[in-house]
């Protein structure tokens, strides 16, 4: 089953490559297609996160009121969510649906180089695996490029890893929320820098592109919600 998913991802990349001639741009097109397919769910995710942030003052009030009765606190919190149609888990679905593609892409790019394993892009040395003139090989990680070619060879890869960390941090910072939640997002982004350091550049390119599209849709949705609230006030 998992090999079938990896094979499907590679087939899509090869199909896009046959038209574009660049695996980096093929990954960007794949990302755009995925984001368009998830756009309705992303809109619901943004609305859910927005509603959760609006609910925080009330939730804190309930926590203070029922601090000595956890069962009552859970009941009142659930009741509040139901009455106001707030889904605390509504923001998880788009990420969950993307994870099989993300993991499959990681394995397709980072997999072994034996020709007997065709579901790995690195098993095809006869084709170029570059992204324009920026990245010479999207199957290589920043660490691998640094180890083999030094700082100058790895510099574009390092910058991409930094963008990857920012792409984890920025969406949460742009959402309404308290300082503690934003600090958690910062710590997570710092930890993800190491993942970016050891991950294939193509995976980072997918995530950064996906995050940029997410931020754009997120900001448009937030402006729409705030405008509707102002008109209804």
Mention every residue, 6+ apart, whose C-beta is less than 8 A from residue 47.
90, 221, 225
Q: What are 111-121's pLDDT values in tens digits?
A: 655 444 444 56
Residue 5 or 152, more confident: 152
Q: What are 127-148's pLDDT values in tens digits?
A: 667 788 888 888 888 988 888 8
Q: What are 183-209's pLDDT values in tens digits?
A: 766 777 788 888 888 888 888 999 899
Average pLDDT along the chain: 76
Report CA torsion sign: 77, 83, 89, 92: negative
Of the chain, the percentage scoring pLDDT greater than 70 comes to: 70
Predicted TM-score (pTM) of the model is 0.76
Q: Which two tokens stand for residue 27?
A: 């990954």
**Residue whose structure tokens are 């600090």:** 183
Cα separation, 128 vs 131, in Å, equals: 9
Q: Which two tokens stand for residue 229?
A: 């609230």
Angle between helices 201-232 and 142-174 (to 10 degrees): 10
């Amino acid at each position: 089953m998992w090999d079938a998913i990896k094979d499907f991802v590679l087939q899509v990349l090869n199909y896009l490559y046959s038209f574009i001639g660049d695996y980096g741009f093929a990954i960007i097109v794949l990302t755009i297609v995925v984001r368009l397919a998830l756009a309705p769910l992303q809109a619901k995710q943004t609305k859910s996160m927005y509603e959760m942030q609006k609910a925080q003052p009330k939730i804190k009030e309930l926590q203070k009121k029922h601090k000595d009765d956890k069962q009552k606190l859970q009941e009142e919190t659930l009741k509040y969510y139901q009455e106001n149609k707030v889904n605390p888990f509504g923001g998880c679905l788009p990420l969950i649906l993307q994870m099989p593609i993300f993991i499959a892409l990681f394995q397709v790019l980072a997999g072994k180089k034996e020709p007997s394993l065709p579901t790995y892009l690195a098993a095809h040395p006869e084709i170029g695996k570059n992204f324009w003139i920026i990245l010479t090989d999207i199957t290589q990680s920043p660490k691998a490029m640094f180890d083999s070619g030094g700082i100058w060879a790895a510099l574009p890869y390092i910058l991409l890893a930094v963008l990857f960390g920012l792409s984890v941090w920025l969406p949460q910072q742009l959402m309404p929320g308290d300082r503690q939640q934003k600090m958690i997002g910062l710590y997570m982004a710092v930890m993800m820098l190491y993942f970016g350091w050891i991950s294939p550049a193509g995976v980072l390119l997918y995530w950064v592109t996906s995050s940029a599209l997410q931020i754009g849709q997120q900001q448009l949705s937030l402006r729409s919600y705030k405008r509707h609230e102002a008109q209804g006030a």
